[in-house]
């Protein structure tokens, strides 16, 4: 079993705080994915520093093959000591999903992971272990396709305390909400948004604590291939198309010239739509064998904005309403967000006078900068991205 992990996370800052005291770190290697969620003591700058130090130290050590005992001991010795409680304090959860289907989870004073399979909440057996004077919970278990694992900070279980809910939402309330939300299979990003929206409602839009949710789903590998821009040499048109067509996965073309190249070489008719669902985004086209054909620069520019909005944590119900819109940019963004683990980009480097700013070299052209931005935003989401230039 060669597992892939689709990951989404979002934080709500404590009311009137500019910085979040929770931190999520995602590490990927050839044999495993690691997700770390840390909750620094208190709130604001101090908590943010504690949480950031915790995730960076744990991430660096775990990636280097360190034992969890050494990690916890290092955390205890490294973090600043609270002048009031006299403890170096930052809670954390570490989830490691190996490509062979095995999982390892360790939790130190964070709420327990919610493990969902086939619409049910599963209980994962764990053992207590004392490390450097601290009690941690350790879990060893196997995962399968379509499993969901949800980590969160205590801001989730405390949602509504003293407001809409006298004693807060609690772990059980959060877990039951997650179960009910997963009656229909949804993406981790949509589930993350739903949980955070519920927390914000219970807090009456004024969170009393930093609140962070991280949702992981076990999925099959999903490859997306994107062709944009004609090659620098006409002779490379067929080379690019051969590479593009032979790569497994979804096929997307962005750009009118690129679409015409594909139409000519494949011997198939390109049909342009005349429907403008969004007056600022040119309509899509259809070409047999392609999953999506869009216009180029305007569409890619809107795509980058959508991906950037997602990566800043600004994904609410309004965001998903825009994502479900019937225009090329939204359709492409939805594929990259919810149906992609690996993105392969086939990028032509032909000069295009319409996309040039006078006096700038080609590597600063609008299209090339958009390609770089797409790569950056997709990698922030944990996607594997490759670019091949022609």
Work out the mean pLDDT of the chain and round it to a whole number. Answer: 89
Between 6-20, 221-235, 306-320, 345-359, the lowest mean confidence (pLDDT) is in: 345-359
- Sheet of strand 211-219, all strands in order from the earlier edge strand to the far edge: 4-12, 211-219, 148-152, 114-117, 120-122
The strand pair at 102-108 and 211-219 is best described as unpaired
Calculate mean pLDDT across residues 351-363: 50
The pLDDT value recorded for residue 185 is 83
* Contact between residue 202 and residue 19 where contact means Cβ atoms under 8 Å apart: no
Helix (H, G, I), strand (E, B) or coil at 105: strand
302-349 tens-digit pLDDT = 999 999 999 998 888 889 999 999 999 999 999 999 999 999 999 999
The pLDDT value recorded for residue 364 is 42
Q: Helices 297-311 and 328-338, interaxial angle, to 10°?
A: 40
> What are the tokens at 129?
């272990």
Residue 82 has pLDDT above 80, yes or no: no
Binned at pLDDT 50, 70 and 90, residue 85 comes out as low
List the beta strands (DSSP E) in 1-87. 4-12, 22-28, 32-40
| Beta bridge partners of residue 24, listed in sequence order | 37
Residue with tokens 């994915």: 33
Quick check: pTM over 0.95?
no
Q: Is 192 exposed, middle or buried (0-12, 13-18, 19+ CB in 10 A)?
A: buried
Domains in the chain (CATH in brackets) are 4-219 (3.60.40.10), 223-389 (no CATH)
């Amino acid at each position: 079993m060669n597992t892939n992990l689709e990951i989404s996370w979002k934080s709500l800052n404590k009311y009137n705080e500019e910085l979040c005291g929770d931190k999520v770190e995602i590490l990927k290697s050839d044999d495993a994915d690691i997700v770390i969620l840390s909750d620094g003591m208190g709130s604001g700058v101090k908590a943010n520093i504690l949480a950031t130090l915790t995730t960076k130290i744990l991430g660096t050590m775990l990636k280097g093959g360190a034992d969890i005992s050494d990690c916890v001991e290092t955390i205890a010795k490294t973090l600043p000591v609270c002048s009031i409680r006299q403890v170096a304090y930052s809670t954390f959860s570490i989830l490691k999903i190996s490509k062979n289907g095995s999982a390892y989870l360790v939790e130190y004073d964070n709420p327990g992971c919610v493990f969902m399979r086939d619409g049910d909440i599963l209980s994962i057996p764990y053992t207590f272990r004392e490390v450097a004077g601290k009690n941690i919970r350790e879990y060893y278990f196997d995962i399968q396709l379509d499993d969901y694992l949800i980590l969160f900070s205590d801001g989730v279980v405390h949602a509504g305390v003293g407001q809409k809910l006298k004693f807060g939402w609690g772990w059980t309330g959060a877990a039951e909400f997650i179960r009910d939300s997963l009656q229909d299979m949804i993406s981790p990003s949509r589930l993350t948004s739903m949980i955070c929206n519920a927390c914000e409602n219970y807090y009456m839009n004024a969170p009393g604590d930093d609140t962070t949710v991280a949702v992981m789903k076990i999925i099959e590998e999903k490859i997306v291939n994107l062709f944009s821009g004609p090659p620098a040499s006409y002779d490379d048109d067929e080379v690019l198309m051969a590479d593009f067509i032979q790569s497994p996965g979804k096929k997307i073309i962005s750009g009118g010239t690129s679409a015409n190249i594909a139409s000519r070489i494949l011997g198939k008719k390109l049909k342009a739509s005349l429907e403008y669902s969004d007056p600022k985004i040119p309509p899509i086209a259809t070409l047999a064998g392609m999953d999506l054909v869009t216009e180029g620069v305007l569409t890619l520019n809107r795509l980058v904005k959508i991906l950037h909005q997602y990566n800043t944590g600004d994904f609410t119900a309004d965001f998903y309403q825009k994502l479900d819109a019937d225009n090329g940019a939204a359709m492409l963004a939805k594929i990259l967000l919810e149906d992609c683990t690996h993105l392969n980009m086939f990028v032509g480097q032909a000069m295009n006078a319409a996309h040039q700013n006078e006096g700038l070299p080609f590597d600063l052209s609008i299209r090339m900068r958009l390609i770089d931005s797409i790569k950056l935003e997709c990698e922030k989401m944990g996607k594997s991205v490759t670019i091949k230039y022609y």
